[in-house]
Amino acid sequence: MATEGAASDLTASAQRKAALARARFEDETDRAERHEFLAEEARTQSLKDMHMRIAGIHRSTASCHLTAAHLQDDYVARLAGWSVRRDAPKPLFMAGVAEACGTESAAVTLIGASLDQLAMAASDEPARAAQELEFLLGEGPARDATSELRPVLADSAAMLDRWPGYGPAAAELGIKAVAAVPLSLSGTCVGALAVFDPIQGVTNADTFGEVAEALTRSMILGPDGDPELYGATDMRAEVHQAAGMVSVHLKCSVADALQLIKAHAFAEGVSAHSVAERVLGGELRFG
């Protein structure tokens, strides 16, 4: 009954957000059509061009909302299957994101002003492990996408050349290709969407961009946004809290303390979160 109740609550939320996204899609489509009509009636080329530019903006926004609605619909379908399966793990919203991008593994990273990961959500364990590597090593596709504000694409050979630490470590996970695109709105980058080993080779650039834009505008920064992606986002708050404790103990900067935690986690082959828990619980001290 607990599973059915949880599924019912999540389903209602996803259905509501899908309906809102569709309503926004229809509204933006109507606005685009209005400006396209005005462009046809325009008496000067400058007016025609202006209306067509505005129509293009509304068409782009409409496409974003429609993609968001499809992602919500997919999650509703996954929840329907979960509600009738006893003891099955809760489906992840990111699993639908990965499928929409033509892969099984995808991850969203949210960043702060210093480009450090503040939170992460993944579709499966390979994606989670790959994003953990980026956090520990400070290099990888999502970090480059956010720092360079452009899509990043690399196959196995390019991965090894571009990222001396991340490349070999990702290869050990069995990852043969990666792609990432920044999540940006109004010139501000809030994170990146990364995919691993797209099923059909390089993921379709247009689809990849549409999914990234839908996530940014609808799921993360939109008025009905849910940055926690239905409770599947891992926050890095405890890691940064632990870094503060280590910095006080060692009388070093928080940045240096954070790097120490990351290095310790990488050396032990564990997550930074597990190291942070030991620091906060008094089980691990540095120095």
How do residues 150-201 score in pLDDT, each as one tens digit? 999 998 899 999 999 999 999 999 999 999 999 988 778 999 999 998 765 4
Determine the pLDDT at residue 226. Answer: 81
Determine the pLDDT at residue 182. Answer: 94
Determine the pLDDT at residue 201. Answer: 47
Same domain, 79 and 107: no
Determine the pLDDT at residue 18. Answer: 94
Domain of residue 251 covers: 237-280
Percent of the chain's residues with pLDDT above 90: 53
Residue type, 241: Q
Please identify, among 83, 113, 134, the residue that sits at the C-terminal boundary of a domain.
83
Please identify, among 210, 225, 254, the residue that sits at the C-terminal boundary of a domain.
210
Same domain, 55 and 143: no
**Is pLDDT above 90 for 229?**
no
Whether residue 221 is contained in a domain is answered as: no
CATH of the domain at 107: 3.30.450.40
Contact at 8 Å (CB) between 124 and 104? yes
Closest listed residue to residue 245, CA positions, set 233, 237, 255, 254: 254
DSSP string, 118-168: EEEEESSHHHHHHHHHHHHHS-SHHHHHHHHTS-EEEEHHHHHHH-TTHHH
Same domain, 197 and 244: no
The average pLDDT across 212-237 equals 83
Whether residue 286 is contained in a domain is answered as: no
Tell me the angle at which helices 272-280 and 254-268 cross, rounded to the nearest 10 degrees.
Answer: 120
Whether residue 72 is contained in a domain is answered as: yes
**189: phi then psi, degrees, rounded to nearest 5:** -90, 125
Whether residue 162 is contained in a domain is answered as: yes
**Is pLDDT above 80 for 72?**
yes
Whether residue 60 is contained in a domain is answered as: yes
Whether residue 248 is contained in a domain is answered as: yes
Whether residue 232 is contained in a domain is answered as: no
The average pLDDT across 260-265 equals 86
Determine the pLDDT at residue 1. Answer: 47
Determine the pLDDT at residue 86. Answer: 65
Same domain, 114 and 202: yes
Is the pTM here over 0.95, yes or no? no
Whether residue 229 is contained in a domain is answered as: no
Residue 148 pLDDT level (bands cut at 50, 70, 90): very high
